[in-house]
Amino acid sequence: MGATFLSELPVAVLAEHLGLPRREAGNLVEALRRLGIDTLGALAALSPSRVADRFGPPGLRALRLARGEDDLLVCRFHVAREELSEEIELPEGTAGSSLECALELLVDRLLAAPRRKSRTLLGLRLGALLNDGESWSVEQGLGRPTASARVLRTVLVPRLEDLPGPAVTLWLRSVGLGPRAAEQMELSVPGEESRRRLLGAAVREVRATQGAAALLKVLPVDSASRVPERRAMLTPFPDL
């Protein structure tokens, strides 16, 4: 059962369980990916001798984990498998940029959920309840675990074009949670990175002293609505 459960997870989740220095574990995961072994299921299907030949003892350790032969790991993954979910009711005729604002709000809420406990997301499912009572949803992989609102928005916004009709509710669910965000590698942009770090430190400090709900941002949702409370939402300020 454990192996079945694990099979669809990306090989990136192995990194922190291999007992290797981060760089070495990252290299192993990257090497697996280069060979087209993207999921634990693909890894588990390989023979131990082939894995040992190519990757040595760390590879065998990865294979055991992928096959669910490490009960502790399976248990930990089951805990991490818990799902986060957010939904938002849409005003009539929401489309275009307003729909993107709604999605942005959902992403911010999902990332701000206390149950996430700083863990990254492995995948997402975006869905909607349509005007005619039908439902629609689509699964979106992320390539690698991330907790970046910018990344999530970038991959999800194009999926809104697949919506088959007007929606009354939009929802977003996590599909698996990965390692903590602080353990993930980040792309750095000179200059911007240092500002983001400073801002991130300030955000964490304010949250630590004033509580998680102390920092919010105003998100325009439907600025032309005749119902004032629908024009803008207060949404959690994203982690930086």
Exactly one of 80, 163, 232, 240 binds other proteins (CB under 8 A); that residue is 232
Least distance from other proteins to the Cβ atom of residue 233, Å: 5
CA 31 from chain centre, in angstroms, equals: 23
Contact between 92 and other proteins (CB under 8 A)?
Answer: yes
How many residues interact with other proteins (rule CB under 8 A)?
14
The 3-state secondary structure of 41-66, one letter per residue = HHHHCCCHHHHHHHHHHHHHHHHHHH
Q: Burial of 187 by CB count in 10 Å (0-12 exposed, 13-18 middle, 19+ buried)?
A: exposed
| String marking each residue 158-197 x if it binds other proteins according to CB under 8 A | ----------------------------------------
Contact between 228 and other proteins (CB under 8 A)?
Answer: yes
Q: Phi, psi (5° rounding) for residue 147?
A: -130, 25
CA distances from 127 to 72, 134, 143, 146, 154 (A): 33, 11, 20, 20, 16
Sole window of 32-40, 79-87, 138-146, 229-237 interacting with other proteins (rule: CB under 8 A): 229-237
Contact between 114 and other proteins (CB under 8 A)?
Answer: no
Exactly one of 72, 187, 224, 227 binds other proteins (CB under 8 A); that residue is 227
If you write DSSP's letter for every residue of 96-151 in order, what string do you get?
HHHHHHHHHHHHHHHHH-GGGTTEEEEEEEEEEEETTS-EEEEEEEEEEEE--HHH
Contact between 130 and other proteins (CB under 8 A)?
Answer: no
Distance, CA of 16 to CA of 51 (rounded, Å): 19
Least distance from other proteins to the Cβ atom of residue 115, Å: 18
Exactly one of 152, 233, 237, 239 binds other proteins (CB under 8 A); that residue is 233
Q: Which CB, 69 or 92, lies closer to other proteins?
A: 92
Contact between 102 and other proteins (CB under 8 A)?
Answer: no
Using CB under 8 A as the criterion, which residues of the chain lie in contact with other proteins when the complex forms?
A: 91-92, 216, 218, 226-235
